[in-house]
């Protein structure tokens, strides 16, 4: 049991460590626009999978910063798509 | 004649001499004196000095002219600069005026507000609900009394999110309810989320069991399309509802956008089960609820894993499909295991959404007991009437029809036995109590068939969506328990179920807000 758990643990750490940190920001306005467009496409897909997609205008941008971390965890959403979603939700 | 020639020659010579001498005699008469010469010299000297002064003056004047020319150039440059600055100022003023008319942009307000809030942010979210339950409970099972329900219940589940930076989050959920037996408060979850990399999260604390989908994502009142939980996640759970431990989780995109897979692995304190009032471990005992998980008998740690895949790309416009598989293994007492596994799916496209799970568990029991096997599952389907225009109805009615979502769900649980003590101390809402926590987070359990060893339920729902997170839900449950299995009393004496299996029905209505 312990061997299995330790193996899974190290495999997960190795998988997770292969990419950079979450806090990367868009490099330019053009990149930001691309992320917003991508986020607008992903928003109804990722959100509706579990619950009705809530309009970006429902919450203040700083509130989306917290909500999206919560949702990223629940949905195990890939980080690059999390960035697109947060840019869209905060762009309204 | 000769004399005349001589005379003429002499006269010519005299004349020549005269011509030569006369001018010399004249100069000699006008020649200046010494005074004149001094005067002339003095004048010459003065003239030289005048010339020198003139030259100096000319030099000074040249310098002055150059200076003036330089100053003139500077003035011209300054004038040009002033004109440029004036133009720029005019443009800035114009821009400010336009901005003033349009107001600050959201990003400017956001930036200013973020500075005002500081880097540590805090948010209270969650859900609240008000429910009515009518369960006539026309009869018990095998004469075990059942309690009628005709009551209102109020439930408030605040979730606190605290974000100290962009890679850390704390999440805590409290469950507070007021029902027929009073008020109760419970801690549903207390989680530290750490995001060290893009594709891995470390989660520490008391958390909903990430087995399948329902415990983790479908239990909040406004998220669950129904008011009650499906039978496998009620008080007779097939897999424990919560764990105290550590998770590693993350997601990857493996193909086009939307084609993802994700993993969750965890370890915790392990499962726990109720005992009879005489302290016996018995088949069919209730599994731990979230709070008891924190005090569970920790004979050994449990481990679990879940993998899910999403095969449909977003650009295909075929909706979203999730396929998942989960395992859970842990010792519930010294040397005895609980093994569980499950599969799940959900799919939505357009107005249609459907989901389902199947899960099984096997608990090793002390000698003299048969093993405690449990199986359960549910299948749910709903269709939003949004966008549907019924031509025979007026627009005012269609507007309300568009907010409706009809639903149907079938759920079931099979187990070998049920403890009579568990039934008599029933605590799930809808079973004579108001205690929350039997189902993680916000889910209610109002199904009177729960304590039949082989429970079956068909639930019909009609949701009226006021907004994406505000809903008035209505549910009608048909309880159709099957024969089979046994009831165990506090001494472990078994009574076969089958002499009389009472069917029943329940109506529930709930107004709930996700905030």
Burial of B166 (0-12, 13-18, 19+ CB in 10 A): middle
What is the average pLDDT across B210-219?
A: 92
What is the average pLDDT across B186-211?
A: 92
- Find which of A5-14, A46-55, B237-246 is predicted with most confidence, using mean pLDDT: A46-55
Candidate from B113, B220, B468 with C-beta closest to A54: B468
| Position B242 confidence tier, pLDDT thresholds 50, 70, 90 | confident
Minimum mean pLDDT among A59-63, B180-184, B208-212: which range?
B180-184
Do B121 and A16 lie within an 8 Å CB cutoff?
Answer: no
What is the average pLDDT across B157-181?
A: 86
What is the average pLDDT across A69-91?
A: 94
For residue A64, give the chain B residue with the closest CA: B123
| Position B443 confidence tier, pLDDT thresholds 50, 70, 90 | very low
Q: Which of A8, A10, A11, A12 to mutate to test the interface with B (most CBs of B within 10 A)?
A: A12
| Position A27 confidence tier, pLDDT thresholds 50, 70, 90 | low
Average pLDDT along chain A: 81
- d(CA B283, CA B265) in angstroms, rounded, equals 28
Minimum mean pLDDT among B115-119, B297-301, B318-322: which range?
B297-301
Of B366, B328, B325, B327, nearest to B343 by C-alpha is B325
pLDDT of B181 over the 80 cut: no
Please give the pLDDT value at position B380. Answer: 97
Q: Which of A78, A87, A89 to mutate to test the interface with B (most CBs of B within 10 A)?
A: A78
Minimum mean pLDDT among B93-97, B188-192, B358-362: which range?
B93-97
Which two tokens mark B17? 């001499």
What is the average pLDDT across B212-226?
A: 92
Query: Nearest-CA distance from B301 to chain A in Å?
Result: 9
A14 touches B: beta carbon within 8 Å: no
Of B457, B423, B435, nearest to B181 by C-alpha is B435
Query: Nearest-CA distance from A31 to chain B in Å?
Result: 16
Dihedrals φ, ψ of B87, to 5°? -65, -45
Minimum mean pLDDT among A17-21, B19-23, B194-198, B354-358: which range?
A17-21
Q: A42 CB contacts (<8 Å, ≥6 apart)?
A: A81, A84, A85, A88, B257, B258, B314
Chain A residues lying within 8 Å of B308, measured CB to CB: 76
Query: Nearest-CA distance from A27 to chain B in Å?
Result: 16
DSSP 3-state percent helix, strand, coil across chain B (nearest 5) = 25, 40, 30
Candidate from B117, B166, B250 with C-beta closest to A16: B250
Measured CA to CA in angstroms, residue B8 lies from B2, B3, B11, B16, B107 at distances of: 10, 8, 5, 12, 131
How confident is the model over B28-86, as pLDDT tens digits? 445 567 888 889 999 999 999 999 999 999 999 999 999 999 999 999 999 999 999 99
Of B234, B188, B223, B228, nearest to B207 by C-alpha is B188
Contact assessment for residue A57 and residue B237, using Cβ atoms and an 8 Å cutoff: no
What is the average pLDDT across B216-221?
A: 90
Do B161 and A17 lie within an 8 Å CB cutoff?
Answer: no
Q: For residues B446 and B423, which has the higher predicted lDDT (pLDDT)?
A: B423
For residue A45, give the chain B residue with the closest CA: B320
Do B195 and A69 lie within an 8 Å CB cutoff?
Answer: yes
What is the average pLDDT across A15-29?
A: 57
Please give the pLDDT value at position B409. Answer: 97
Give the three-class secondary structure for A66: helix
- d(CA B88, CA B82) in angstroms, rounded, equals 10
A27 touches B: beta carbon within 8 Å: no
Please give the pLDDT value at position B440. Answer: 36
A42 touches B: beta carbon within 8 Å: yes
Candidate from A38, A53, A92 with C-beta closest to B468: A53
What is the average pLDDT across B338-355?
A: 96
Please give the pLDDT value at position B293. Answer: 52
What is the complex's ipTM, to 2 decimals? 0.84
- Find which of B23-37, B161-175, B473-487 is predicted with most confidence, using mean pLDDT: B161-175
- d(CA B460, CA B405) in angstroms, rounded, equals 11
pLDDT of B154 over the 60 cut: yes
Listing DSSP states for B443-508 in one string gives -B---TTTTSSEEEEEEEEEEEEEETTEEEEEEEEEE-PPS--EEE-TT--EEETTS----EEEEE
- Residues B475, B320, B204, B124, CA torsion sign: negative
pLDDT of B477 over the 70 cut: yes
Minimum mean pLDDT among A8-17, B319-328, B460-469: which range?
A8-17
Please give the pLDDT value at position B417. Answer: 85
How confident is the model over B331-340, as pLDDT tens digits? 888 788 999 9
B218 touches A: beta carbon within 8 Å: yes
Q: Which of A10, A33, A37, A45 to mutate to test the interface with B (most CBs of B within 10 A)?
A: A45
Q: For residues A78 and B446, which has the higher predicted lDDT (pLDDT)?
A: A78
Candidate from B197, B217, B320 with C-beta closest to A16: B197
Minimum mean pLDDT among B282-291, B375-384, B389-398: which range?
B282-291
| Position B7 confidence tier, pLDDT thresholds 50, 70, 90 | low
pTM above 0.80, yes or no: no
Chain A residues lying within 8 Å of B113, measured CB to CB: 60-62
Average pLDDT along chain B: 83
Of chain B, the percentage scoring pLDDT greater than 70 comes to 81
- Find which of B9-13, B56-60, B108-112 is predicted with most confidence, using mean pLDDT: B56-60
- d(CA B298, CA B187) in angstroms, rounded, equals 20
Give the three-class secondary structure for B253: strand
Candidate from A1, A19, A53 with C-beta closest to B199: A19
Which two tokens mark B171? 């999440």
- Find which of B231-235, B281-285, B321-325 is predicted with most confidence, using mean pLDDT: B321-325
Query: Nearest-CA distance from A20 to chain B in Å?
Result: 6
Chain B residues lying within 8 Å of A1, measured CB to CB: 300, 303, 329
Burial of B345 (0-12, 13-18, 19+ CB in 10 A): middle
Of B507, B29, B477, B486, nearest to B282 by C-alpha is B486
Instruction: Please write down the HEC assignment for all residues of B74-104.
Output: HHHHHHHHHHHHHHHHHHHHHHHHHHHHHCC
Q: B474 CB contacts (<8 Å, ≥6 apart)?
A: B461, B462, B463, B464, B507, B508, B509, B510
């Amino acid at each position: 049991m312990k061997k299995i758990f330790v193996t899974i643990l190290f495999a997960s750490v190795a998988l997770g460590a292969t990419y950079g940190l979450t806090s990367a920001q868009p490099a330019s306005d053009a990149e930001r626009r691309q992320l917003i467009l991508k986020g607008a496409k992903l928003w109804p897909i990722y959100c509706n999978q579990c619950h009705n997609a809530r309009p970006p205008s429902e919450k203040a941008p700083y509130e989306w910063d917290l909500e999206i971390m919560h949702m990223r965890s629940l949905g195990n959403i890939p980080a690059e798509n999390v960035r697109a979603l947060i840019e869209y939700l905060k762009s309204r | 004649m000769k004399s005349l020639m001589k005379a003429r020659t002499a006269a010519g010579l005299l004349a020549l001499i005269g011509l030569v001498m006369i001018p010399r005699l004249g100069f000699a008469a006008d020649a200046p004196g010494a005074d004149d010469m001094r005067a002339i010299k003095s004048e010459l000297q003065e003239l030289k000095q005048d010339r020198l002064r003139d030259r100096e003056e000319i030099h000074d004047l040249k310098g002055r002219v150059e200076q003036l020319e330089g100053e003139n150039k500077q003035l011209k440059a300054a004038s040009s600069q002033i004109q440029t600055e004036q133009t720029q100022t005019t443009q800035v003023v114009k821009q400010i005026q336009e901005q003033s008319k349009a107001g600050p942009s959201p990003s400017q307000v956001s930036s200013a507000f973020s500075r005002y809030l500081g880097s540590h942010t805090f948010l209270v979210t969650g859900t609240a609900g008000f429910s009515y339950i009518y369960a006539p409970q026309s009869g018990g099972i095998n004469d075990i009394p059942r309690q009628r329900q005709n009551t209102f219940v109020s439930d408030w589940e605040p979730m606190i999110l605290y974000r100290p930076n962009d890679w850390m989050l704390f999440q805590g959920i409290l469950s507070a309810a007021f029902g027929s037996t009073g008020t109760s408060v419970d801690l549903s979850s207390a989680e530290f989320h750490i995001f060290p990399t893009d594709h891995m999260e470390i989660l520490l604390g008391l958390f909903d069991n990430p087995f399948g989908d329902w415990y983790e994502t479908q239990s909040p009142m406004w998220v669950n399309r129904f008011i009650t939980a499906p039978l496998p996640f009620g008080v007779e759970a097939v897999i424990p509802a919560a764990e105290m431990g550590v998770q590693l989780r993350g997601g990857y995109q493996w193909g086009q956008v939307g084609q993802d897979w994700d993993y969750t692995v965890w370890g915790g304190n392990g499962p726990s089960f109720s005992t009879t009032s005489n302290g016996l471990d018995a088949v069919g005992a209730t599994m731990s609820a979230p709070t008891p998980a924190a005090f569970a008998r920790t004979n050994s740690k449990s481990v679990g894993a879940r993998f899910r895949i999403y095969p449909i790309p977003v650009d295909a416009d075929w909706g979203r499909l999730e396929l998942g598989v989960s395992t859970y293994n842990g010792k519930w007492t010294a040397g005895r295991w609980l093994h569980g596994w499950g599969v799940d799916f959900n799919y939505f496209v357009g107005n249609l959404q459907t989901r389902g799970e199947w899960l099984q568990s096997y608990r090793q029991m002390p000698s003299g007991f048969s093993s405690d096997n449990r199986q359960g599952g549910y299948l749910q389907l709903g269709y939003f009437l949004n966008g549907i225009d019924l031509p025979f109805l007026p627009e005012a009615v269609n507007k309300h029809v568009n907010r409706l979502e009809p639903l149907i769900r079938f759920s079931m649980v099979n187990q070998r036995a049920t403890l009579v003590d568990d039934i008599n101390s029933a605590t799930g809402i809808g079973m004579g109590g108001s205690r929350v926590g039997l189902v993680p987070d916000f889910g209610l359990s109002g199904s009177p068939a729960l304590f039949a060893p082989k429970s079956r339920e068909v639930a019909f729902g009609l949701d009226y969506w006021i907004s994406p997170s505000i809903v008035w839900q209505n549910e009608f449950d048909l309880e159709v328990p099957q024969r089979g299995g046994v009831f165990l009393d506090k001494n472990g004496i078994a009574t076969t179920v089958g002499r009389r299996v009472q069917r029943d029905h329940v109506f529930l209505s709930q107004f709930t807000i996700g905030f």
